[in-house]
Amino acid sequence: MTDLFDLSGKVAMVTGGSRGLGYQMVKAFAAHGADILVTSRKIEACEKVASEVKAMGRRAVTYACNVANWNELEGLVDAAYKAFGKVDILVNNAGSSPLAPSSLDTPEQLFDRIVSLNSRGHSG
């Protein structure tokens, strides 16, 4: 059964990969043999995760990127291809879920920003 999850030779890029579900996905991909590009807004957090991936015997590269800023995405892709020459697995995990008093009290502009970021990877 483990052959079904053999990701040896594959490269995974996980946005929002420095904490929460993204962090767990990074670790799972690495545990199954994938090399990883870890990205989030905070490079220090990415570097901590990358060091864990490297300790697992996998290659890891970090890149600070706020996917809400459309103009930062090209650099993210360039970093992945420069480091690995490809991306086999892309997990668009970065997202936003700010607290609001209730759904009825969420301003339309905030709702649109959240949906755009979570669905398209940018806020514009």
User: Which option is the CATH number for 2-95: 3.40.920.10, 3.40.50.620, 3.40.50.720, 3.30.360.10?
Assistant: 3.40.50.720
Rounded Cα distance, 81 and 100, in Å: 39
Q: Which residues, 6+ apart, have CB-to-CB distance to 46 below 8 Å?
A: 17, 18, 38, 39, 40, 62, 63, 64
- What pLDDT is attached to residue 23? 97
- What b/e string do you get for 23-34 counting C-beta neighbours within 10 Å, with b at 16 or more? bebbbebbebeb
Splitting the chain (124 residues) into consecutive groups of 10 residues, what average pLDDT does each group show? 82 95 97 97 96 98 89 93 97 75 78 68 51
**Domain ranges within the chain, ordered by starting residue:** 2-95
- What pLDDT is attached to residue 111? 76
